[in-house]
Amino acid sequence: MISEHLIIAPILIPFVVGALMLLYDDRQRQAKFWLSLISVAAQLLIAVELVVRAKTGGDISDAEGISFYLLGDWAAPFGIVLVLDRLAAMMLVLTALLAIPSLVYSGAGWARQGPHYYSLFQFLLVGLNGAFLTGDIFNLFVFFEILLAASYGLLLHGSGQLRVRAGLHYIAINLAASLLFLIGVALIYGVTGTLNMAHLANLISAMPGEDRPLLHAGVAILAIAFLVKAGSWPLNFWLPTAYMAAAAPVGAMFAIMTKVGVYAILRLAMLLFGETGGASTGFGAGILIVLGMATILFGLLGILASQSLGRMAAHSVLISSGTVLGITGFALAGGGQAMLSGALYYMVGSVLATGALFLLIEPMNREDGGIAAMLALTADAYGIDGTEIEEVPDVGLAIPGTMTVLGICFALCVLMLAGLPPLPGFIGKIAMIQSLIEQSALPAGFAWSFVALLIVSGFATLIGMARIGIQTFWANDVPLPRVLAFEIAPIIALLVILSLISFKAEAMLRYTTGTAHALHDTAAYAYGVFATPRAADRPDDEGEAPE
């Protein structure tokens, strides 16, 4: 009986832990750290178990691979429903895989720079996990707001003028985007009378022609809100500054926040405008392709123009989102499952790599006095006496050969982001390019220019990052930075995961192929919800024989 409630655990665990930690003040930092770590580790275990469950329908997923959870035991579509399919399970694992290293990293120092860091971190996870699991558009809005509210707090964590200014822009943009989200939701409800994604997917094939323009308008407005989150050009000018201003572990978590927007677009686009969309099939595909290409171009130029590694990392987040957005457009236009599978594989790799890069930035630039100045500033702001700060470096073990280790980590991140072998960036890009060239359903010009952009963006990443690497590791005679083992271990862990993904590429690609297949075959999702029995209607276990 417990196992069927496992679906809601990724939302409940961080929620309870986060709320519990609010009750104690920040002097209990050690306890909070371990509690958070246990919570995230539990989420990882549950996410892995959920992946196994999502895979049970055989290699190519069918209805058995999708599990539904009726909240409050209300029958769909009247109540809110949580849906666990391959895509959602994969995103849950990705979130937890990214959360553990950045949590460990922040335990080494960042967490003490402001109040309630660990609670905010857990609430961010509530929002992320909830957004991946929910099957209801308004519920998606609520989880988006939870994750955004937590991200506002995390972005401002550590304070300082740069962060407050970036935070002001970030919050204003996201509040405006949330209002667009609501307008879209209201329009969809006004036309169809439902907010359940599966129900919408059912209704759309038989929808009368005169209602379609209004539904399209609603979904398009909704998509603008998602595109703002996904960092699509031209809605992404706030993103590099905000991501650069964020504290290092927060920046690493933000690497997955753009992917929430991409996830929402992918999910809704495939459900509503996939092959079963009737007259609406393929709606918005061209726009997504063009926006994806423009985003890659913007990120590419941004990387070449950036002078600091932080800004470069933010632009590489943009390239990765643009790639997946463009491929979503191609898949929507009938490009086939192979490229979507490659894009999902690439997304996992690039999220982990950009996360590792964000964690690397701060140790690499430490000798510039970045953290020392930051510590002094926040010590003033929070009235912490200097003695506590002074003893920080003695807490952890400093690693030997700092620059060598940092340099190797940096080089691996660059290899991944530039799409060079043997890391997953290469395999993902190969899979995408191969299927883009092979398919014939799309105008060849689009496909070829996308292939060109993919390759050129990798090249630009290589040039930009190599420039920064030379400046930092070769042309630098300042004293070596002191990097704690606690800070370098998460980065190494992320890189080990990346190489595992590379070694296990076949198994991973088989999983993402199944995911792409399930995304194209919407019937299991759309009708499965209604076949889910309510707990109240279900016969009890055999143990309790009726009188």
Partner 1 sequence: MEIILSAAIGILSASGIWLLLRPRSFQVIIGLCLLSYAVNLFIFSMGRLTPGAPPIMPKGGFVDPTRYADPLPQALVLTAIVISFATTALFLVVMIASRGMTGTDHVDGKERSQ
C-alpha 215/C-alpha 191 separation (Å) is: 6
C-alpha 244/C-alpha 167 separation (Å) is: 11
Nearer to partner 1, 167 or 292 (CB): 167
Nearer to partner 1, 137 or 465 (CB): 137
**Least Å distance between CB 172 and partner 1?**
6
Within a 10 A sphere around the Cβ of 505, how many other Cβ atoms? 19
Nearer to partner 1, 26 or 145 (CB): 145
Tokens encoding 455: 């390759």
What is the DSSP secondary structure assignment for residue 159, as one 8-state letter? -
Nearer to partner 1, 55 or 116 (CB): 116
Nearer to partner 1, 214 or 287 (CB): 214
**Least Å distance between CB 176 and partner 1?**
6
**Least Å distance between CB 140 and partner 1?**
12
**Least Å distance between CB 195 and partner 1?**
8
Those residues with Cβ within 8 angstroms of residue 119's Cβ, 6 or more apart along the chain or in another chain: 18, 19, 21, 22
**Least Å distance between CB 174 and partner 1?**
8
Tokens encoding 425: 């960036």
User: Is 142 strand, coil or helix?
Assistant: helix
Nearer to partner 1, 161 or 440 (CB): 161
Nearer to partner 1, 383 or 546 (CB): 383
Q: State the alpha helices, DSSP H only, in 383-422.
A: 386-390, 392-395, 402-418
**Least Å distance between CB 368 and partner 1?**
22
**Least Å distance between CB 132 and partner 1?**
20
C-alpha 410/C-alpha 358 separation (Å) is: 10
Dihedral, 396, 400, 404, 406 alpha carbons, nearest 10:
0
C-alpha 41/C-alpha 36 separation (Å) is: 8
C-alpha 72/C-alpha 373 separation (Å) is: 50
Residue 345 φ then ψ, to 5° = -60, -45
Contact residues for partner 1, defined by CB under 8 A? 138, 142, 145, 148-149, 152, 156, 159, 161, 164-165, 167-169, 171-172, 175-176, 178-179, 182-183, 185-187, 189-190
